Every structure is written in C-alpha cells, then in structure tokens.
Amino acid sequence: MSNVDLLGRRKFIAGLGVAAGAAMVAPAMAVSEKADGVKWDKEVEVVIIGSGFAGLAAAIEATKLGAKDVHIFEKMSYFGGNSAINGGLFAAPGTPMQKKENVDDSVERMVNDQLASGRGIADEGLLRHVASHALEALQMTLDAGSEYHPYLQQLGGHSVARTYQTTVSCGAGITQPLYKECKRIGVNTHNRSKFEGFLVGKDGKVVGVKMRTNYHFNEDQPGEVLNIRAKKGVIMATGGFGQNVDLRMAQDPTLTAEVGCTNAPGATGEGMFEMFRLGAIPVHLAHIQSGPWASPDEGGFGYVSNYSIYNFPHSMAVNRLTGKRFMNEIADRKTRADAELSCRNEKGEALPPILITSYKDSKKHPNTKKVIKYNVGWKFDTIEELAKHFDVPLKPLKAQIEEYNSYVKSGEDKQFGKNMTKAKDKYIEAPFTVVRLWPKVHYCQGGVQVNVKAEVKDSFTGKSIPGLYAAGEVCGGIHGVSRLGSCSIPECMVMGMTAARSIMKA
Ligand SMILES: Cc1cc2nc3c(=O)[nH]c(=O)nc-3n(C[C@H](O)[C@H](O)[C@H](O)COP(=O)(O)OP(=O)(O)OC[C@H]3O[C@@H](n4cnc5c(N)ncnc54)[C@H](O)[C@@H]3O)c2cc1C
C-alpha cells in the first residue's frame, strides 16, 4: 500500500484518485422581491421547500393539525435529499429498546452529551427541545412503517447506547415510509421544482415563493418561474451546503473539491443564502463536520462508514507508522477526525490509519461482506499478514493488541479512556477485518438561526420574520462545534414538526 504525498489533505485525496465532491455548482442566486402587484400563479395553504426528514415531518404534522392543502417542493428529480442516503441512525432518550436493554438514559443525559461535543457553543435550549420530542419523532416513523434492527448502538460521544438503526441501514428506511404517508394523507409533492426567492408583503411578512418548474439540476433551465402564494406561510427545509465547494471553501479553504464528501448533489445551500438576504442571522457557518468513519478507498459514504460506525466500540484504530492506537475510537467526531488527520509518515505525508476488528465480531454487520467483496476492507488470518499488507511495525502492533485486550478484560481503557461497555468479551483476535479511515466533508453545523418555535430571527428587527419557518440542516447553531452521530434525524424531524405546529397556530 503506497503512502501518498500530502501536507494538506487536498493533495492526498487527489493522489488517491478518489472522486471529487460531485458538485462544483454555484447556485443561481435569485433576489427575493416585494409581493406588491405580483400576479399569483397559484395559491396554497402551506409551502414546504425540501423533501428530506425536516420537510416530510413538517408536511405530515401540518396535515395532522388540519391543513388541507400542503405542498412540498423539491428541486431534484427524486425526493429525500441527504436524508434518503443517510445511515438510518436515530438517537432518542427513554425509548422502549433502552428499557429492554436496561439502559439508564434521560433527556438531560442526551443534552449533556451533545453539549460536551458542542464545546461550549451549542444551543442548549434547542438541544433540550429536540431531545424532549425525539420519541414523538421516532413514533412518527414507526407509525409510517419504518423498521429498525432489534438492538441499540452506542455511537461516538454518546455516554450510553441510544441509537436505533433502520433494518435497511439507510435513511430511505425512514424517508420512503414518510413520503408514502404524505401521499396517503393527501400532501401534494412536486419534484424538479426549485425555490428561487421569497415574495414579501408590505409588513415584511413572507407571503409566497418564486418556484422554477421543470428544473434540471446543473443544466440549462427551460422551466418558467411561478409565483406561489402561501396563505399560512413557508417552511424552509432545504438542508446543508456540503456539496457547494465555493461556500464551504469560503469557510475553510482546505475543503477543496478534491476532498471527499458524503452529501447528495443537491446540498448546495441556496435556500439558506436567500434567507440571509431576507435578514436571517448566520450562525456557525465555519463549523463543517468531517466524518471520521469514512474510507479513502471508496467514494461518498460508501459501505465502510456504516461498517465502522457499528464496529468502532469493539475495534482498535492504529497509526500505521507506530503500530499503536492514537485515539479513543468512540470519542466525538471532531476529536477523531482531527486525530486521523494527524496520522502522517516521517515526511509528513498522510498515512490513513487502520481499524482492526475481530472478523467474528465485525461479521454481524451486514456491510462486512460488502467491504471485503468490493476491496475497501480486507480479511487477514494472521497478524503477520495484516502488518505486512499495511506496512505496520509488527512488534509494537502485537504489544498494542495485547494491551488493548487487557482493557477489554478489565473494562477500563488506560490509554484513551474509551467506554468499554460495548467491547465486553470482544477481544481483538484472528482472523481480523481491517478498513482504512480518512475524514470526508459530511455535515454543516452552520445555517440560519431559529428559536424553539422554528421561527427565523431577523437581524435587522431582532424579531421573527413573519410567515417564515426553518427546520433541519439549513438551520445553524444547535450542535455547536461538533454534532454527535444519529442526532440529526431527531433534530430535523422534531424541528419540522415544530415548524408545522407554529405555522398552524399563526
Ligand atoms: C451519507 C450521510 C449519512 C448520514 N447519516 C446520518 C445518520 O445515520 N443519522 C443522522 O442523524 N444523521 C445522518 N446524516 C445527517 C442527516 O442525514 C442530514 O443532516 C439530514 O438528512 C438533513 O435533512 P434535511 O431535511 O434538513 O435536508 P435534506 O435531507 O438534505 O433535504 C433537503 C432537500 O431540499 C432540497 N433543496 C435544496 N435546495 C432547494 C431549492 N432551492 N429548491 C427546492 N428544493 C431544494 C434538496 O435537494 C434536498 O432534497 C447523514 C448525512 C449523510 C450525507
């Protein structure tokens, strides 16, 4: 396995020939307009822009609360955004599965775990609001027909096991049932419909939207723009901007087009920027999260990400230069991503670390067969073969495995303080499964500022912008420096439901 030449990570990924982030798109920026004298092409009750977790949950909740004419507009040809390709991992406190597995959890405990990961700048009020309603959101998915594995996972930075995962190991296990539920209850859905700007009434109230029809992503646009009046208001659920290379590089110049990205191509952020143009407050835009479970050997989220998320608690991450561990394998994402990026050879070039798992424990995850089949993970019968393949010094590696196994036995990790609960009886022993790790752009902690009613605050007036609500990854500030895994689904769904409750009260 050759090392690659890198001081910054951009060259490294290019050197590996990994597909660049799919989109180099600069979103067409429309300017919102005054609605005076506008000719309305259509009048509806509730407008929702975006068809991920936030938009779908908002549509279902608004309909439950009596709305008769709810419309979801989605710019892509398909529905679901990042939500449909996500890992299907859903955290909630006080669930039936936690009761079954005797896990002692609470809203406060989940909030405290997230505050720690947020490093002092997360929004405690929003975190508590989401954690308090996460069970309702989980129930909405169950009512719609989502199915989950019959066991909980403990993800990095969570102090207890509180994460459900869909049986299809993918967010489509949630978006498809929610979408079907939307159709069943009469929600109107429009694909290839791109939001291009707001229409604003005399008092600054958002009264409608400009929507381009027959939109073809990244192509010449033949479709006409319709003025759609939203009688009750507009819910923006347009997701993050991970695929907008210009926007992310404006925050962090190292996040070039060559850096891998797990996001769907439509995650380009123009909905967020149009809200800024209206006066919304930008929060934490520079906090762009990289996923520490990603592999440099495949594009996007691939097969390795969910494989390693499942296996980290009972695996050992090893620096190939030293043959030793270099991090707590279930620390929060930022801690691990930073630790991985510091794995370098003597010349300072990137040297992706390896995650070593006993084959017998790894094979319980459905992706294990796939990572081996597609050559993005490898099985070794002996430690000697493993060390030779990855050019790891054998003696320190053997000593490290012995030391780590003593922590499995005692339940106390003296090297990095890892919580060993889920590692119980899972010794690192042959045969082994191994994957390489390197962080990829994954999630935008930044976005527009919202309150616990999903209202968008106006930086000029200090008040909420009337008629406008936002939910999901388009919002910023809730998670602070680093979001914990499996906490976006509850956030998007709870805030989508919250936006619907607010709009139906207004
Ligand atoms: C690969 C991957 C795995 C993940 N795994 C997990 C996980 O297991 N658990 C977890 O909690 N989180 C996970 N996340 C994070 C989580 O999936 C996202 O934060 C979440 O899906 C965002 O949902 P959303 O509804 O805000 O936006 P999205 O699901 O991204 O939906 C936004 C939609 O708006 C559309 N849109 C954007 N602009 C416009 C416009 N101008 N006009 C019309 N439509 C527009 C987009 O095309 C998109 O379909 C993962 C993310 C990725 C990328």
Same domain, 106 and 192: yes
The band of 258, judged by pLDDT with boundaries at 50, 70 and 90, is confident
Distance, in Å, from the CA atom of 135 to the CA atom of 154, rounded to the nearest integer, reads 17
How far away, in angstroms, is 217 Cα from ligand 1 center? 16
What tens digit of pLDDT does each residue of 178-209 get? 999 999 999 999 999 999 999 999 889 999 99
Same domain, 416 and 464: no
pLDDT score for 392 = 98
Question: Residue with the nearest Cα to atom 21 of ligand 1?
Answer: 83
Same domain, 302 and 376: yes
Per the CB < 8 A criterion, the answer to whether 232 and 204 are in contact is no
Q: Which atom of ligand 1 is nearest to the CA of 50?
A: 34
| Domain stop point among 416, 438, 460 | 438
Same domain, 447 and 403: no
How far away, in angstroms, is 492 Cα from ligand 1 center? 9
Query: Which protein residues touch ligand 1 with a CB less than 6 Å away?
Result: 49-55, 73-76, 81-83, 85-89, 171, 194-195, 237-239, 262-263, 266-267, 270-271, 301, 443, 472-474, 486-489, 492
Q: Specify the 3-state DSSP secondary structure of 354.
A: strand
In one-letter notation, the amino acid at residue 225 is V
Same domain, 92 and 235: yes
What tens digit of pLDDT does each residue of 35-47 get? 999 999 999 999 9
Same domain, 182 and 97: yes
The band of 12, judged by pLDDT with boundaries at 50, 70 and 90, is very low
Domain that holds residue 434: 293-438
pLDDT at 1 over 60: no
Same domain, 334 and 429: yes
pLDDT at 18 over 60: no
Distance, in Å, from the CA atom of 271 to the CA atom of 260, rounded to the nearest integer, reads 23
pLDDT at 15 over 90: no
220-225: long-range contacts, CB 8 A cutoff, minimum separation 24 = 221/28, 223/192, 225/196
Q: Count CB-CB contacts under 10 A for residue 474.
A: 30
Q: The dihedral of CA 439, 267, 492, 119: what is its sign? A: positive
pLDDT score for 30 = 55
Catalytic residue among 333, 436, 483, 501: 333
Question: Residue with the nearest Cα to atom 51 of ligand 1?
Answer: 86
How far away, in angstroms, is 80 Cα from ligand 1 center? 7
What average pLDDT score do residues 325-348 get? 95
Same domain, 85 and 122: yes
| Domain stop point among 418, 438, 458 | 438
In one-letter notation, the amino acid at residue 450 is V
What average pLDDT score do residues 381-399 get? 98
Same domain, 265 and 345: no
Is the bond preceding 150 in cis, omega lying within 30 degrees of 0?
no
What average pLDDT score do residues 440-461 get? 96
Beta bridge partners of 475: 448
Same domain, 76 and 166: yes
Probe residue for ligand 1, chosen from 73, 86, 182, 445 as the CB with the greatest number of ligand atoms within 8 Å: 86
The mean of the pLDDT values for the chain is 93
pLDDT score for 56 = 99
Encode burial over 369-397: b for 16+ CB neighbours within 10 A, e otherwise.
Answer: ebbbeeebbbbbeebeebbeebebeeebb
pLDDT score for 398 = 98
In terms of C-beta density within 10 A (0-12 exposed, 13-18 middle, 19 or more buried), how is residue 450 classed? Answer: buried
Probe residue for ligand 1, chosen from 488, 492, 494, 497 as the CB with the greatest number of ligand atoms within 8 Å: 488
The band of 29, judged by pLDDT with boundaries at 50, 70 and 90, is very low
How far away, in angstroms, is 432 Cα from ligand 1 center? 34
Question: Residue with the nearest Cα to atom 47 of ligand 1?
Answer: 266
Probe residue for ligand 1, chosen from 71, 82, 298, 305 as the CB with the greatest number of ligand atoms within 8 Å: 82
Per the CB < 8 A criterion, the answer to whether 265 and 299 are in contact is no
How far away, in angstroms, is 85 Cα from ligand 1 center? 8
Q: Specify the 3-state DSSP secondary structure of 142.
A: helix
| Domain stop point among 438, 468, 486 | 438
pLDDT score for 31 = 67
pLDDT at 408 over 50: yes
Question: Residue with the nearest Cα to atom 52 of ligand 1?
Answer: 86
Number of domains in the chain: 2
Q: Which atom of ligand 1 is nearest to the CA of 79?
A: 49
Residue positions counted in the chain: 506
DSSP state of 171: T
DSSP state of 18: P
User: Which CATH number belongs to the domain containing residue 340 in this structure?
Assistant: 3.90.700.10
Distance, in Å, from the CA atom of 492 to the CA atom of 502, rounded to the nearest integer, reads 15
Same domain, 390 and 361: yes
Residue 333 annotated as catalytic? yes
User: Which CATH number belongs to the domain containing residue 105 in this structure?
Assistant: 3.50.50.60
Same domain, 297 and 284: no
In terms of C-beta density within 10 A (0-12 exposed, 13-18 middle, 19 or more buried), how is residue 425 classed? Answer: exposed
